[in-house]
Amino acid sequence: MACCVCRLERQAQMNKAIAIEARNLSFAYQTKINIIKHLNLSLYKGETVVLLGANGGGKTTLGKLLTGILKPSSGELLLFGENLSMLPLFKIGQKLGYSFQNPVQQLFTVSVEEEIAFGLKYRGANAEEISRVTEQLMKLFEIEHLRDAFPLNLSWGEKRRVVLASCLALQPEYLILDEPTTGLDQKRIDILNRVLNNLRQEGVGMLLISHNQSFVRENAQRILRMEKGAIVDDLYL
């Protein structure tokens, strides 16, 4: 009976539109050793997937492949049906939000406010919209008092909140967050849980790479476990 329910749920997932699809995906760095090995994976719109696995198992590499930062050695990657390898990064960035494992790599402006407003500003949003979205996100992540602070001088947790706010400002259709809870205290993790829950209800799909058990329990609808570059478990909850 349980298996039957599982199958039905799986079928329901299959009927959802695919956001990202990997077909026979492999990737090797310069060492020529495959970090990702012949991986097949479908990630659906509106679904929250948590990617688990030991350090060095290929989780971050997979995240970078799915965002087009790394190019696969072989295989195919589709983002909303388009060949991801053919898309320039800015096109990917218009559909997909990505938070690096290390937030420092994503901070490049002179103030927190500018950091959050950056994407909107250069994508042609009007001043009123930029101000509204920026204020809303700064309030949500409790970083209003840091609006004029230089992002690279902030604490790790504050940097993480700024990066998350900058990602969400662009209202992506799909989110990939690499270890989003690192450096956050429980209060801020609870805020992040609420934000992700709201996004889920709005139909935004997400892939969360995390080692935080309570965060995984709170958000996961599907759990993928990765070992040595391959998905060894794919579990729908």
Partner 1 sequence: MTFTSKLDPRTKLFLIACLSSSAVIMSHWTFLAVLFGISVLLLLLFGVNPWGMLKKCKLLLYMVLGIAILQSIFMPAGQAIITVGSLKLLSLGGLKMAGEFILRMLIIIASAGILSTSSSREIIQGLVQCKLPYEVALMASLGIRFLPVFAEEFRDTMIAIQLRGVDFKTLPFKQKIEVMGSLFQPVVAGAIIKSKALAMSIEMRGFRASPHRSSYLVLKCRIRDYVIMISCGILTALMMFCYFSI
Residues within the interface to partner 1 (CB under 8 A): 67, 69, 88-94, 96, 98, 100, 104-110, 118-119, 122-123, 150, 152-153, 166, 170
> Is residue 215 within 8 Å of 193, Cβ to Cβ?
yes
CB of 152 to partner 1, least distance (A): 5
CA angle 9-14-15, nearest 5°?
A: 100
Helix 112-122 to helix 156-169 angle (10° resolution) is: 20
Amino acid code (one letter) for 66: L
Compare residues 7 and 150 and give the one whose CB is closer to partner 1: 150
Q: Which is nearer to partner 1, 53 or 93 (CB)?
A: 93
Residue 208 to residues 5, 47, 59, 109, Cα–Cα distance (Å):
25, 11, 10, 26
Question: Least CB distance from residue 161 to partner 1, whole Å?
Answer: 16
Structure tokens at 7: 């199958």
* 170, amino acid identity: L
- Output the smallest distance, CB 170 to partner 1, in A: 6
Considering the complex, state which of residue 61 and residue 220 has its C-beta at the smaller distance from partner 1.
Answer: 61
Give least dist CB 8 to partner 1, A: 37
Please name the residue that has the structure tokens 């992506």. Answer: 172
Nearest CB to partner 1, comparing residues 52 and 134: 134
